[in-house]
């Protein structure tokens, strides 16, 4: 059972232990004492008691630990329609963002706003705005260069980014993606190079913001694959799959061998779900003592999943991913 499931179970147990104040029923009976006696009055009392108990429970929920969970949905991060599409746009419309609104001023007076974040086991996505009433220098994101995000048990490196300027060039909306953060972190610090100063001058700056790990999106699939695909150029070992609402991550290893094999893996492994190809948007490889380790990133999987395969396009080989 993962962390999210543990917390949901604990919260369920807490709710099961909730009781209304001992004198609540007595007070309701006094308030209803003017009602005519008989079965009709008893039914009214029972209905009123249930309604009052439900109201008390709702107040306790809002005032208790469930506040973030209740307020979580509906936090659509506005103004990012032209920056994200597909999976991320859908998640944003569903209200999966953690709204922040933290601000800091750059050296040239440009305002950097961290509008919000999205988080799951595969990545952390930072939604930001750069704005200046007199117009932004160069009209692009060269004003800042992210370094990473740190926090409790967290040292996340930047992975990618995209942005879009407004028509009058006074504002830029964008996202930065980082390695996933610890589920125990409550505060995160974004470090970046402020390059808005004159000439080539730049300095390192930091922006701290709150993080609610209980609002991270749950993992859909996390399992081993442990299957090897053998080709004339060498062997490919597919190790694991981690599927979350923002992406699907495939990790594996590659023997030291024909350089052509590395290119086949990085550019030619297709993920097929329910018979349809899942869009791949990034691949990475690093040298290891015995060859390479690789990471393949795809869009999220269908909600109703019946089958999954990995297909090496050039070779034609196929690996069936077991459905657990």
- Give 233 or 275, the one with higher predicted confidence: 275
pLDDT value for 158 = 96
How many other C-beta atoms can be found within 10 angstroms of the C-beta atom of residue 161? 17
Q: pLDDT confidence of 186, banded at 50, 70, 90?
A: very high
- Give 243 or 314, the one with higher predicted confidence: 243
Average pLDDT of the chain, as a whole number: 82
Of 166, 180, 171, whose CA–CA distance to 217 is shortest?
Answer: 180
**Residue 53 contacts residue 24 (beta carbons within 8 Å):** yes
Percent of the chain predicted with pLDDT > 70? 75
pLDDT value for 141 = 65
pLDDT tens digits, residue range 126-171? 999 999 998 886 666 689 999 999 999 999 999 999 999 988 889 9
Q: Which stretch of 33-47, 97-111, 136-150, 262-276 has the lowest confidence by average pLDDT?
A: 33-47
pTM as predicted: 0.75
In sequence order, the β-bridge partners of residue 298 are 248, 280
Of 140, 88, 162, whose CA–CA distance to 119 is shortest?
Answer: 88
Q: pLDDT confidence of 32, banded at 50, 70, 90?
A: very low
pLDDT value for 144 = 94
Of 317, 108, 112, whose CA–CA distance to 228 is shortest?
Answer: 317
Q: Which stretch of 44-58, 96-110, 198-212, 217-231 has the lowest confidence by average pLDDT?
A: 44-58
Q: pLDDT confidence of 6, banded at 50, 70, 90?
A: low
Please name the residues in contact with 248: beta carbons below 8 A apart, sequence gap of 6 or more. 122, 241, 242, 271, 278, 297, 298, 299, 300, 301
Q: pLDDT confidence of 31, banded at 50, 70, 90?
A: very low
pLDDT tens digits, residue range 44-84? 444 544 554 444 444 444 333 333 333 334 468 888 988 88
Whether 249 shows a pLDDT value over 60: the answer reads yes
**Residue 176 contacts residue 146 (beta carbons within 8 Å):** yes
Q: pLDDT confidence of 280, banded at 50, 70, 90?
A: very high
Interatomic CA distance for residues 230 and 245, integer angstroms: 31
Distances from the Cα of 128 to the Cα of 101, 153, 196, angstroms: 9, 24, 16
Query: Which two tokens mark 233?
Result: 């150029």
Q: Give me the mean pLDDT over the 251-265 stretch.
A: 86
pLDDT value for 11 = 52
Span between the terminal Cα atoms of the chain, in Å: 14
pLDDT value for 142 = 82
């Amino acid at each position: 059972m993962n962390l999210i499931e543990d917390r949901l179970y604990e919260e369920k147990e807490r709710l099961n232990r909730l009781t209304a104040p001992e004198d609540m029923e007595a007070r309701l009976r006094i308030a209803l004492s003017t009602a005519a006696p008989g079965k009709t009055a008893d039914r009214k009392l029972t209905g009123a008691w249930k309604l009052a108990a439900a109201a008390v429970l709702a107040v306790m929920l809002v005032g208790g630990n469930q506040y973030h969970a209740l307020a979580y949905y509906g936090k659509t991060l506005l103004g990012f329609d032209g920056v994200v599409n597909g999976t991320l746009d859908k998640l944003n419309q569903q209200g999966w963002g953690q709204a922040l609104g933290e601000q800091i001023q750059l050296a040239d007076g440009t305002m950097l706003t961290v509008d919000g974040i999205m988080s799951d086991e595969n990545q952390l996505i930072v939604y930001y705005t750069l704005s200046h009433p007199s117009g932004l220098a160069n009209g692009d994101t060269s004003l800042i260069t992210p370094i990473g995000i740190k926090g409790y048990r967290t040292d996340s490196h930047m992975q990618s980014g995209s942005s879009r300027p407004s028509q009058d060039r006074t504002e830029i909306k964008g996202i930065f993606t980082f390695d996933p953060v610890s589920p125990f972190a409550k505060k995160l610090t974004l470090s970046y190079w402020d390059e808005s100063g004159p000439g080539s001058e730049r300095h390192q700056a930091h922006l701290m913001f709150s993080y609610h790990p209980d609002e991270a999106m749950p993992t859909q699939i996390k399992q081993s694959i442990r299957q090897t695909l053998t080709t004339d150029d060498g062997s490919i070992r597919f190790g694991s799959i981690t599927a979350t609402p923002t992406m699907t991550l495939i990790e594996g290893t590659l023997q030291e061998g024909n350089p052509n094999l590395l290119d086949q893996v990085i550019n030619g492994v297709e993920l097929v779900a329910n018979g349809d190809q899942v869009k791949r948007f990034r691949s990475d490889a690093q040298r290891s003592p015995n060859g390479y380790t690789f990471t393949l990133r795809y869009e999220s999987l269908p909600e109703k999943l019946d089958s999954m395969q990995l297909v090496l396009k050039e070779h034609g080989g196929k690996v069936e991913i077991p459905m657990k």
